Structure 1
């Protein structure tokens, strides 16, 4: 997606221009220069280079990363920052690069990733930053308790949250819904949503439900459908390994009805950023995604309430589908002092405002001024504070560990990518958890 980027040519812009294809090799070489006593100097030459890996290379992510790292450089001009963005594959390229670096005993200073169960895959490779970051920065009291708990690994406090996305939003194009005669506020159940999809199909030329059939997209849509139809308790029982087969089956039946009748013809060949363009252009009515898509609308200058809108996915009012982004601290750190300074900054007010206003996410830090956030994000901040339930995301590392998530995606890839095998998918999900 295009975005309103600064025309100033910075180190960050040059690094992004290097492209994802050559980044992994470049990082391996660069890693030999950044660690320990032989690290390159920062500022006055008495420090090590701070190397940070992340996957925010386009659209809302690039804008947010530029704001974040630009603010860090302004606050810490004495630290030599080496920001390395690695795009592509829904963070798969980033995750693979991180894994390779850790296995080669060549860790970066920090890397972006999900906290929670996702941290289990790095057992033995992470460090504890409780005293240097969490205590010194006062983060335990400043951040929401859910975020504090999710940033702890077997090593101790190993991550710092940078923001939270809500996973139970349903976004829509205002004009398309008006043409279809659909009132989004009237959608209180999945049955009502399906009726609305029928109206869009009948009354307009737009795609009713914009979808990418990437397996993680299917998984997150399955999760929100289960929350909608079966409720919070059934969802939590499932991710904890004690799910009800009937609830899982019913969820697949409903999801199969939606995917089999109302999505775009090219769903198997497009990613979520491409299909989200159909919402912005008026070629589609609804899309379910995390509210990173709101970041795209915001950065494109589309007006909330007039051109696009959002409701809670029908049946999930009172819930905040919890997703958190964080920066993670490798244990054998090449620049521990610089890394601690960066992580204290990431958990602070300036970073949380600068990053999240562009990313379409919200601070996990509480009592942050909302002056720089638009009306949608301000409402989301209030919902986060007042939600009755905060079910953790299934598709983004909080609800289950990386291996289980990968197995669930494998089930979807094998059984639920048109034709939609409800029996096979149900058995696969039950066996996996």
Structure 2
């Protein structure tokens, strides 16, 4: 099967606007031809450097080295939440015609930002049997312009609410009783009045956490149909306003005072250390809990589907992409075939707080929380795509949405202006 070994300059420039200022104007310089020899090391860039991710990435590396001792692997972690620093490094590498062998990123609409830069690995998918062994959404979302461009490693869930068991018990709050956004706000008020703990810890040093929380609040307050209209480019402004009003109540009254200066990892420590009652994050937060000594599921921490989103599983994938101008094409294909296999998906996901995208993995090694997550995935009424991590809206729309949140919804919380900007950002 013919590979994409030539980059189309016009396509590359077209993708530049959707990835922010560090952005992908760098992509315009990536005009190289075919890659290097098959004996070159596989250089893999990823963003898993702490908390939930470092242990998982190390387990993945160890499993690959054990399975393929004759293929040299150079894992290169790039720190920073929400892939922001990773994206900038990838952009610079592509600009300088020095692509890595593969890099972690998101599939779906997010792939459009790399149009003309990613190679066609459809033959790898066919030879490895991935179309039959992975969930349908993974098969659909890892294709772009009629060809497979990436391989999935695991699936995260975004509509999660985690809590410290001791803190909610001290407050007299029953998380299982929370079935709406208004229930959640009432619970946060109870924690505030009955304890000296943080009702909802939030790491807001990066805009992505606010945008992610907006997405789940919109799903909670507006429902599945309105949420899907939003991601499809036909947002209901009234529903956007209602979600933002609920968020403003949270941010103005119930989050930690140092929220603006800390990130996800530090915020999640407030749950582990018993300083906070609740946190909203994807289920990578549970990966950090699993890796924390003496912090056990259903004893020290618990999980609740984000109130108002029961029966839904907000979908997110961790994936590895294949640059067409590849420095180690054959060895990179070895890496990608491994990523989509059982051994990699077991090694990585059990520590990352995610579940395999393969349908034939024994969940016995994953612990009770992830076993329950896999059951929720299988039994979900709907699996709506997330907004912040590549599956629901394009990179350009996400960048515009984040700019609006940074300018209008980072304190003071200007609901009307933010609603106007968000509606404009995603409208067709």
Give the TM-score taking structure 1 as reference length.
Answer: 0.88
Instruction: Give 1:201's match in structure 2, choosing from 192, 197, 201.
Output: 192
| Partner Cα distance (1:89, 1:387) in 2 | 28
Mapped to 2, the partners of 1:184 and 1:36 lie a distance apart of 53
Deviation, 1:335, is 1.2
SS in 2 for 1:327: strand
Question: Displacement of 1:103 after TM fit?
Answer: 2.2
* Alignment match, 1:290: 282
- Aligned residue for 2:364, secondary structure, equals coil
Alignment partner for residue 101 of structure 1, among 83, 93, 99? Answer: 93
DSSP 3-state at the match of 2:288: helix
Find the partner of 2:298 among 305, 309, 319: 305
Alpha-carbon distance in structure 1 between the residues aligned to 2:382 and 2:336: 28
Match of 1:255 in 2: 247
Partners of 1:369 and 1:403 in 2: CA distance: 38
Tell me the equivalent position of 1:29.
none
Cα separation, 1, equivalents of 2:35 and 2:155: 33
- In structure 2, runs of 5+ residues without a counterpart are 1-33
SS in 1 for 2:40: coil
Distance, in Å, in 2 between the alignment partners of 1:110 and 1:244 is 39
The Cα RMSD (Å) is 1.2
Aligned length: 391
Q: Is 2:273 the partner of 1:281?
A: yes
Give the conservation status (yes or no) of the 8 Å contact 1:126–1:155.
Answer: no
User: Any residues of structure 2 matched to 1:28-107 within 5 Å, and which?
Assistant: 36-37=35-36, 47-107=39-99
Q: Which whole-Å CA distance do the structure 1 matches of 2:365 and 2:134 have between them? A: 19
CA contact (8 A) 1:111 1:328 kept: yes
Q: TM-score, normalised by structure 2?
A: 0.89
1:432 maps to which of 411, 414, 425: 425
Q: Kindly provide the CA deviation profile for residues 382-412 of structure 1, in whole angstroms up to 9, marking residues without a partner as x.
A: 1111111111111111111111101100000
Shift of 1:415: 0.4
- The answer (yes or no) to whether the contact 2:109–2:391 under 8 Å persists in 1 is yes
Give me the whole-angstrom Cα distance separating, in 2, the residues matched to 1:369 and 1:129: 27
Decide whether the 8 Å contact of 1:127 with 1:155 is kept in 2.
Answer: no
The residue that corresponds to 1:267 in the other structure is 259
**CA drift at 1:89:** 4.5
Partner of 1:385: 378
CA contact (8 A) 2:217 2:247 kept: yes
- Structure 1: which 5+ runs fail to align? 1-34, 40-45
Q: 2:174 aligns to what?
A: 183
| CA distance in structure 1 between the partners assigned to 2:347 and 2:89 by the alignment | 26
Q: Distance in 2 between matches of 1:134 and 1:385?
A: 23
Quick one: which of 211, 236, 242 aligns to 2:228?
236
**Structure 1 residue 407 and structure 2 residue 403: aligned?**
no
1-structure distance, mates of 2:425, 2:120? 31
Q: Which digits, 9 at most, give the CA deviation of each residue in 1:76-99, with x for residues without a partner?
A: 111111111111243222111111
Corresponding position of 2:362: 369
1:80 and 1:264 mapped to 2: Cα distance?
44
Give 1:122's match in structure 2, choosing from 114, 132, 136. 114
